[in-house]
Structure 1
């Protein structure tokens, strides 16, 4: 029997969601718990996990499409099975299992309804069709929707079209100085929390903790040069990375709270010295730049791995307890490498900030001078950085938390504690 993974209901009053990311393709084998997609509403982003297992036999949507909630996002079946004539059951990928009839699993994709609506309206009303997410991100970046070619249903501008426009703008700037991919993960009021990922990751790594960060504040994240949607933005030094991030954040808000991991933590600290950003607080997870040493073998092994088995072997070094490294994280990292030039771009970033096992930058002076609330969180079992060097380099004005039985990913191995410390740091800023 084919299983339908449904588009989750992402809000009581919302009837549609944008398919932001697809982590599987037709013919892929999916296991229970695998991350298969990310959908986005006007208010938040949601990861869609498989609550069944099988082979992907049908995918009515592509990235950027606007989907009806509770419509099939994809179908899982047996190898060689087709959807036509197959009995279908519905699996809702959210905690609340809503009753769905067999008739409901055959809902036509939202694209048909939107196209019909667009045809009925005609093109004389002067209104450019766009998704709520696309409108919000275009407004945040100062982009005119009329200048963006839409690839969605009925020619609508969707999130990936805005992202492409941002990328085109970035590549038009000088190398290392263009705009980066910045995305709103949660709407809110007040000074936003800006999350900056570490080397080899991307902004999607923060999605799991969005809902637990201080309620009411917006949460945003960006892709560093050479990573994610910013893969084509180059940087030849740590200073250029910082400059690129700073330029991309300068007009985001009057005040910001920075949360960074590893390389992203070093960038966050360095941003406080620019003078044109109002940084209210810093939370630094396993920060690079405090000490000279880095595991150069890990950097090379991580970049060279081409199979899931090899990549998992190196990524286990990021955690003290291998069981804390979810297989879906490894598969998502490997799938991201399908982006042309991504690994080569990350090699260039690595060459800019590391020389074998030596870090080529330091954030010690920046931390010494920062007067706002600052929290540094490290794992005592971190083998990527030298924790003795890090601990000795944290200035007296920063709060240092050394977590037992935790490696380089405290946000994974001690998630609740880390989220509590982030909340405390943000609130201390007033």
Structure 2
């Protein structure tokens, strides 16, 4: 089935965008992350990045056309595949998600990598990947200062973690940290449930998404790398929102002092007790077919029928070269021993004094919700009935409201 790369929404309340550059033509093979087009509004131009792989089988617009926002910009499929009606194509997924699915629609801003021409030239000249930057320019654009700051920073581990601006704003940023097997793009559908004015960013944990694996990828070193990466991004004060392993990392970062964590929202957090479904971790990492992967990923949901096919396809595509899964297997060996978590965040929660919420699904089959007991009195606990390991998906409106309340409670 053909997948559509959509025309991004280039500003609030805008319904059209001009095609100012097309970097592909019919028959071209497109890889995930390739720059396929540039569009512009009255105020700015934006680059459109592919979040799926395939052959360009349909280009409904030509250079200079005025395109409709969220309409198909191009269709990807198999060579020779015909699409009778572009509206029948599924919107392309936003990225691989083993611990959180991607909704099959595109949220405003999906696929946009904003950067100035000078920043692009500097990055290319120095072999830097713009996808690893959080921009400090207008609407989160990557500008010259961002490139020069990274070039002046000391060497970081084996390589820098991938960052991406998810939404522009003002004030202290909200940084989202995904769970084991997922990546930062998995948060994009959830952002539609937030009306915060703060800028929002995501990062890929080591051996996830665009971040390289680390030789010392146990829990403590992972936390140290993430804390250092946040500091190197110039983030002195942050609100952290984490899911599963990412929630545990977020909590442990508070012990580092830098950056200053103004609020914590922990969704289905690891690290509150020893138990985890080790069979799920092993089965997920070993699965090589849609049939096998669908059986394991279904366990993330209370209602297994909620598992989207796009999530399965994206996960398989992300691990096609074997490197991603291999890195995650090495990380899992340092984080878990069978069905035992080899780390705890209870000390961090006891010492953290800022606004903090823990949100768990009562039907969580991966990390038992019963472990979220005996929390410090200042930590708010929300137990959601009929929800599994993905509260931010299965109860997105409620979780969105709780995240906003936590951030705003920090003042």
Task: With the length of structure 2 as denominator, give the TM-score of the two structures.
Answer: 0.73
Does the 8 A contact of 1:167 with 1:180 survive in 2?
no
SS in 1 for 2:222: helix
Equivalent residue, structure 1, for 2:124 = 148
List aligned pairs for 1:261-272, cutoff 5 A: 261-272=243-254
Match of 1:187 in 2: 168
Cα displacement string for residues 12-67 of structure 1 (whole angstroms, at most 9, x for unaligned residues): 375359999xxxx9699xxxxxxxx99998799999999xxxx9652679xxxxx9
Distance 2:392 2:37 in 1: 20
**Corresponding residue number in structure 1 for 2:200:** 219
SS in 2 for 1:231: coil
Rounded to whole Å, the distance in 1 between the matches of 2:156 and 2:400 is 36
Match of 2:57 in 1: 58
CA distance 1:303–1:378, shift in 2 (3 Å): same
How big is the alpha-carbon RMSD for the aligned residues of Structure 1 and Structure 2? 4.4
Kindly tell me: are residues 45 and 184 of structure 1, through their superposed partners in 2, closer, same or farther at Cα, counting changes over 3 Å?
farther
- Cross-structure match for 1:118: none
Checking the alignment, whether the CA contact within 8 Å between 1:4 and 1:75 is kept in structure 2 is yes
CA, structure 1 residues 227+184, in 2 after alignment: closer, same or farther (shift >3 Å)?
A: same
Give how far 1:167 is off.
11
* Higher alpha-carbon Rg: 1
After superposition, the Cα gap between the structure-2 partners of 1:43 and 1:26, relative to the gap in structure 1 and judged at 3 Å, is closer
Q: Deviations over 1:87-138 (max 9, x none)?
A: x75549999xxxxxxxxxxxxxxxxxxxxxxxxxxxxxxxxxxx97234996
Q: 2:271 aligns with which of 260, 282, 289?
A: 289
Q: Which structure's relative contact order is higher, taking Cα pairs within 8 Å and 6+ residues apart? A: 2
Describe the shift of the 1:179–1:396 C-alpha distance in structure 2 as closer, same or farther (beyond 3 A).
same
3-state SS of 1:258 partner = strand
* Selected match of 1:423 from 380, 383, 404: 404
Query: Aligned to 1:230, which of 191, 197, 211?
Result: 211
Tell me whether 1:257 sits opposite 2:239 in the alignment: yes
Match among 402, 407, 428 for residue 383 of structure 2: 402
Whole-angstrom distance in 2 between the partners of 1:38 and 1:364 = 47
Q: Which aligned pairs between 1:22-421 and structure 2 lie closer than 5 A? A: 58=57, 69-70=67-68, 73-75=73-75, 80=80, 91=87, 133-135=114-116, 145-146=121-122, 148-149=124-125, 159-160=130-131, 173-175=156-158, 178-250=159-231, 251-392=233-374, 394-421=375-402
Cα pair 2:190 2:393 within 8 Å, conserved: no
1:229 is paired with a residue whose SS is coil
Task: Output the CA distance in 2 between the equivalents of 1:137 and 1:403.
Answer: 48
Distance 1:400 1:194, change over 3 A: same
Decide which moves more: 339-348 or 219-228.
Answer: 339-348
Distance, in Å, in 1 between the alignment partners of 2:363 and 2:179 is 18
* Contact 1:231–1:341 (CA under 8 A) maintained in structure 2: no
CA distance in 1 between partners of 2:325 and 2:3 (Å): 35
Displacement, 1:221? 0.3
Of 13, 18, 25, which aligns to 1:15? 18
Contact 2:356 2:380 in 1 (8 A): yes
Give the equivalent residue in structure 1 for 2:96: none
Distance 1:385 1:3 in 2: 34
Note the alpha carbon deviations across 1:333-359, whole angstroms, 9 max, x for none: 121112551000001110111011111
Gap runs ≥5 in structure 1:
29-36, 62-66, 96-130, 139-143, 152-156
Q: Which moved more, 1:359-368 or 1:165-174?
A: 165-174
Tell me the distance in 1 between the aligned counterparts of 2:408 and 2:176: 16
Q: In 2, are the aligned partners of 1:148 and 1:161 still within 8 Å (CA)?
A: no
Alpha-carbon separation, structure 2, partners of 1:420 and 1:285: 13
The number of residue pairs the alignment matches comes to 355
TM score, norm. by length of structure 1 = 0.70
Instruction: Please state how far the C-alpha of 1:330 moved relative to its aligned partner.
Output: 1.8
The 1:72–1:405 alpha-carbon spacing in structure 2 relative to 1, beyond 3 Å, is: closer
Determine if contact 1:3/1:89 at 8 Å carries over to the other structure.
no
Partner of 1:100 in structure 2?
none
How far residue 232 of structure 1 moved from its aligned partner, in angstroms, is 3.6
Aligned with 1:73: secondary structure?
A: strand
